[in-house]
Each structure stands twice: as structure tokens, then as C-alpha cells.
Amino acid sequence: MKHWKSESLRLYLVTDNALSKGRTLTDVVTAAVAGGVTCVQLREKNLSSRDFLAQALAIQAVLANTQVPLVINDRIDIALACGADGVHLGQSDLPVAQARRLLPAHVFIGWSVETLADVARAHSLPVNYLGVSPVFATPTKPDTETPWGLEGLRLARQTTALPLVAIGGIHMGNAQEVLQAGADGLAVVSAICSADDPRHAAAQLQALSQAHFQEGH
Amino acid sequence: MKHWKSESLRLYLVTDNALSKGRTLTDVVTAAVAGGVTCVQLREKNLSSRDFLAQALAIQAVLANTQVPLVINDRIDIALACGADGVHLGQSDLPVAQARRLLPAHVFIGWSVETLADVARAHSLPVNYLGVSPVFATPTKPDTETPWGLEGLRLARQTTALPLVAIGGIHMGNAQEVLQAGADGLAVVSAICSADDPRHAAAQLQALSQAHFQEGH
């Protein structure tokens, strides 16, 4: 069990098997953790429940002796069965209040926000952090809403004191701006999963993030 | 909360939105319950978690003042969130032992068996009934294993004392044989969901089942 702290958001890997260039998720996660990711979210929309759980238990084993929490996307049952540290809920997943009732108190909840109204609504919900999604347009989740952009992220930052992790189209070329706009962390999919060297890609992003937060932002 | 009893299996409706001819599941279930179904299983593989839960809560409302239990297929989280009476697990869903740990003791568990080895294995698992699936070939679940046939069902009956519900291609024309082969109940999808009059279809199957069990089988 890894207790919630907002520093876990700093470099947040969201897995995508289809974008991992034929490598196993276990291999990608192992490399990403060696490179410095601070959180791993397992997102699987196409696996059977049994395969999803097997995948989650394999990733749990990779993370066992680290400080890196495992977050399960959407599936409370998988999170409970694998002993995940957190869950992440989108707007079409279980309502936050219902998820909270099903989870032990130490399991943290992240929630994707697509509008400033969502951000405002989060204040009355039992969420530990918000996922500002998508910051930039991305082929990973083509069905989501209009991107927030950096200006939208700044507005979200002004609207809430909840920790914000930004996701969607983030890479080395724009990560600095995302942090300067007020994100507490960078969530990436393809910038690590699809990198030729996931460990190196994670290490570069980690160094950039560390430099930003050491400057006292 | 409706406590488990094997008589609930006698006429067991498994829902399928796609086979319901444009009628809502709520309407089909309401009619089927009026006709005499004794159990309703909600099976949804394509809905979002939020929509699946909304559907489950709507069906729970229909069943609230009846003796008909609600069973959720696969999704333990949805079952917990809607207060289902049972869950049904297939071979690619969560392992039975893990599901049992996540569920309150009063929530019953059904498990689909595809081979006699599965039937034998069930003796060491915390299951309340077995789904013999499919008894006959069916377009509803085209990806499943070789049908059991009536002879296979008889062998399953000889192998276990657990309650058996037969599913797959059952209709008025073969229901009698299925019961004579040893099933404790008939599970149907299209025979009710796709019927011109789901209430009448349920009533016919219910009468056939009742006649069989009143003869003392």
C-alpha cells in the first residue's frame, strides 16, 4: 500500500499496449520506472477481466519494491482485486461518489475533467487529483473533447487547489510550458510507451520536471 | 437483498440489448417478469461503466418488489455499486475465488462451464450454480466452445450436485428435453428478448418448467 501524495503525479505514465511497439507492458513499465516515472496507470479497454487482472498483477510485481503507485483506469473491481493504490475515472466511468464507497479509504481517486465546470464540480467530490484531459490534441484518445490548451490549463489552475495532472500530447518539446501553466505533473502515453528507449525518454522528462520543481514552482 | 435459492434458476433471462428489437431492456424485463421469469442477468460487454451502472439500477428498480434476483455478468464493480443479488462469471472473467473475496457473503456466484473438467473443478470453488454453456449452438455467443448437447448436459448432471442452468439455443421446441436431461433451470436470451411478445414467451416457458418440476423431477 502506497499512501497518496501529490508528488506521485510528477511524471505519470499511462500505459497503452497498442502503442508499445510490440514490447510487453511489463518491459515498458520496468524501463519507465528505472527512468524515473512516479506513477503508473494501467488503462485497458479491450482486455477480458481475467487478462486485465493478470496484467495488473504483473505490473504490481514490477512496482512492489518501489515508491511508484499503481493506478487502475475505470475498473474498480480490478483495482480491488490487484490491490491498486489508486483508480482513475473518466466522465463515462463510475460516478466518483459510487467509486469512493466501493474502495478502501487509502485508495486514491483521480478524475478526468474536460471543462471548467467539471473542475468546479470536483470541489464537492471525493477526488484526490484531477486529470486535465486532453491538454493538446492527441491521436491516443481521438474521441475526447476539445483540448484545453495552455490557457485552459492556466484557468483550471486558477479555479482549483486540487493537484492537476495534465495529459494529452505532452512531450519534451512542450512539457516545460505545461508545468509553467500550473500542472503538478505530466501524464504521458506515447512519449514513453512509443519511445525507442522508454527509460531514456522517462529520464529526460523526469529531469525536466525535477528542474522545474526545484526552482520552487 | 434476495437470498440465494436454486429455484431462482428455473427460468433465467439473460438480457441482450442488441436482440431486443429496439425495445428498452426495462420494457423487456418488465414483460418477462410479468410472464414469470425467476432470475434476470444483465450482460453488457459494450457499454461504458457509467451506462452499465445506470442500466443495472433501472433493472433493479423493476425487480424491487419482486422475488426475482438481479445477476450482473462479469463486472463485480457494477454488481457492488447496484447492490446486485448475484454475479455470473465466464471463463475469461475474474477468477471465482477473487470475485468471492470482493463480494458480500449473500451475493451468489454462478460460473459458466464449458467442459466436464470445469464441472469437476467447480467442486473446489465457491460457486452457487453452474451455467452449462452453450447447450446448443447459438448465434448469440458465436465465440464460445463446442456445444454440450443433451448428452453432455446429462454427463454434467452425473458429475455434480451443484445446480445447473442450461443456456444456449433453448426455446419452446427443445426446453422439455433440456429439463429431462437434468437442468435445474432454463436460461434464455433471444427466446424472450427477441419474442414478439416477451411476456407471452416467458409465460409459455414458465408453464413448461412448472409442469416439469411439479411432476417431481
Q: Do B50 and A81 touch (CB under 8 A)?
A: no
Contacts of A51 in chain B (CB under 8 A): 92
B59: cell is 433493472
Cα-only R_g, chain B: 16
Residue A144 has pLDDT above 70, yes or no: no
Q: Is B171 a domain residue?
A: yes
What is the model's pLDDT at position A143? 60
Lowest mean pLDDT among A12-16, A46-50, A203-207, B138-142: B138-142
Q: Do A77 and B81 touch (CB under 8 A)?
A: no
Q: Do A81 and B102 touch (CB under 8 A)?
A: yes
What is the model's pLDDT at position A215? 82
Q: Which comes out higher in pLDDT, residue B172 or A3?
A: B172
Nearest residue of A to residue B74 by CA position? Answer: A49
Has B199 been labeled as part of a binding site? no
Q: Is B109 exposed, middle or buried (0-12, 13-18, 19+ CB in 10 A)?
A: buried
| Positions of E strands within B74-196 | 86-89, 108-113, 129-132, 164-167, 185-188
- SS3 for chain A, per residue? CCCCCHHHHCEEEECCHHHCCCCCHHHHHHHHHHHCCCEEEECCCCCCHHHHHHHHHHHHHHHCCCCCCEEEECCHHHHHHHCCCEEEECCCCCCHHHHHHHCCCCCEEEEEECCHHHHHHHCCCCCCEEEECCCCCCCCCCCCCCCCHHHHHHHHHHHCCCCEEEECCCCCCCHHHHHHCCCCEEEECHHHHCCCCHHHHHHHHHHHHHHHHHCCC
Q: Which residue has the cell 504490481?
A: A60
Determine the Cα–Cα distance for residues A41 and A53; give it in Å rounded to an integer: 13
Sign of CA dihedral B53, B57, B63, B69: positive
What is the rounded average pLDDT of the residues A17-22? 89
Q: What mean pLDDT is reported for chain A?
A: 95
Q: Is B206 a domain residue?
A: yes
Per-residue pLDDT of chain B (217 residues; tens, 9 = 90+): 888 999 999 999 999 988 889 999 999 999 999 999 999 999 988 899 999 999 999 999 999 999 999 999 999 999 999 999 999 999 999 999 999 999 999 999 999 999 999 999 999 999 999 999 999 988 766 565 789 999 999 999 999 999 999 999 999 999 999 999 999 999 999 999 999 999 999 999 999 999 999 986 6
What is the rounded average pLDDT of the residues A171-196? 97
ipTM over 0.90: yes
Q: Is A35 a domain residue?
A: yes
| B47 vs A: CB within 8 A | no
Q: What are phi and psi of B110, to 5 degrees?
A: -105, 150
Has A93 been labeled as part of a binding site? yes
- Residue B44: strand pairing partners: none
| B107 vs A: CB within 8 A | no
Q: Do A102 and B81 touch (CB under 8 A)?
A: yes
Q: Is B62 a domain residue?
A: yes
Q: Which comes out higher in pLDDT, residue A17 or B129?
A: B129
| CA–CA min distance B158, chain A (Å) | 29
| B102 vs A: CB within 8 A | yes
A56: cell is 495488473
Q: Is A88 exposed, middle or buried (0-12, 13-18, 19+ CB in 10 A)?
A: buried
> Which of the four pLDDT bands, split at 50, 70 and 90, describes residue A165?
very high
> Which of the four pLDDT bands, split at 50, 70 and 90, describes residue A142?
low
Note which residues in 170-199 of chain B have CB less than 8 A from chain A.
none
Q: Do A53 and B81 touch (CB under 8 A)?
A: no
| Number of other CB atoms surrounding residue B8 within 10 Å | 27
Residue A130 near residue A164, CB atoms below 8 Å: yes
What is the rounded average pLDDT of the residues A79-107? 97
In degrees, rounded to 5, the angle at the alpha carbon of residue B63 between the alpha carbons of residues B60 and B67 is: 130
Residue B168 near residue B138, CB atoms below 8 Å: yes
Q: Is A156 a domain residue?
A: yes
Among the partner residues A50, A53, A92, nearest to B49 by beta-carbon distance: A92
Q: Do B75 and A49 touch (CB under 8 A)?
A: yes
What is the model's pLDDT at position B41? 98
Q: Is the peptide bond before A69 cis (omega within 30 degrees of 0)?
A: no
Percentage of chain A exceeding pLDDT 90: 88
What is the model's pLDDT at position A1? 80
Determine the Cα–Cα distance for residues A159 and A120; give it in Å rounded to an integer: 7
Among the partner residues A50, A76, A101, nearest to B95 by beta-carbon distance: A50
- Domain limits for position B128: 6-214
| Number of other CB atoms surrounding residue B46 within 10 Å | 8
Exposure pattern of B158-184 as b/e (b: 16+ CB <10 Å)? Answer: ebbebbbbbbbbbbeeebeebbebbbb
Among the partner residues A51, A77, A98, nearest to B75 by beta-carbon distance: A77
Q: Do B50 and A80 touch (CB under 8 A)?
A: no
The CATH code of the domain that includes B46 is 3.20.20.70
| Number of other CB atoms surrounding residue B194 within 10 Å | 18
Q: Is A1 a domain residue?
A: no
What is the model's pLDDT at position A195? 96
Q: Please, what is the end-to-end C-alpha distance for chain A in angstroms?
A: 29
Looking at the 3D structure of chain B, how many domains does it have?
Answer: 1
For B61, the 3-state DSSP assignment is helix
| A74 vs B: CB within 8 A | yes
Residue A180 has pLDDT above 80, yes or no: yes
Q: Do B80 and A75 touch (CB under 8 A)?
A: no
Q: Is A208 a domain residue?
A: yes
| A51 vs B: CB within 8 A | yes
A152: cell is 485552459
Q: What is the pLDDT of residues A56-79, one digit of tens each?
A: 999 999 999 999 999 999 999 999
Q: Is B1 a domain residue?
A: no
